[in-house]
């Protein structure tokens, strides 16, 4: 990614802090040679993760919200990434499992069970 905008640079900084350096580098490497992933990564850095610099929510709180939303949307692969990020941000395995159980009430038992399977892997 060259010629990055200020918002993209801020987003990348937030992504590095949110995901942790190892997962951040893994995600960047995976998108390096794949055009859809590269364009998506640039877009995500600029539009999504630059907002993580806003006050009001910690990375830990954002992680918990992301897990809930990804369970509701049934986005297993993305949930897997955000569970790793949640652990990086200080959520415990117990909190993540409880979030999956709690999601069963609002998202349905199948969605919660799928999320528990992702969390267990």
Every domain of the chain and the residues it spans: 1-54, 57-121
Cβ neighbours, 10 Å, residue 121? 8
We find that the CATH architecture of domain 57-121 is Up-down Bundle (1.20)
DSSP per-residue string spanning 23-36: HHHHHHHHHSS-HH
Mean pLDDT (the chain, rounded): 90
Q: pLDDT band at residue 2, thresholds of 50, 70 and 90?
A: low
pTM reported for the whole predicted model? 0.84
SS3 state at 79: helix
């Amino acid at each position: 990614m060259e010629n990055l905008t200020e918002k993209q640079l801020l987003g990348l900084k937030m992504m590095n802090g949110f995901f942790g350096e190892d997962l951040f580098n893994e995600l960047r490497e995976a998108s390096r040679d794949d055009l859809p992933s590269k364009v998506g990564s640039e877009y995500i850095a600029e539009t999504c993760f630059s907002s993580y610099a806003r006050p009001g929510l910690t990375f830990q709180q954002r992680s918990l919200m992301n897990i809930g939303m990804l369970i509701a949307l049934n986005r297993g692969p993305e949930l897997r990434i955000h569970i790793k990020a949640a652990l990086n941000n200080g959520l415990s395995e117990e909190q993540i499992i409880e979030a999956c159980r709690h999601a069963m009430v609002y998202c349905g038992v199948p969605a919660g069970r799928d999320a528990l399977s992702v969390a267990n892997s």
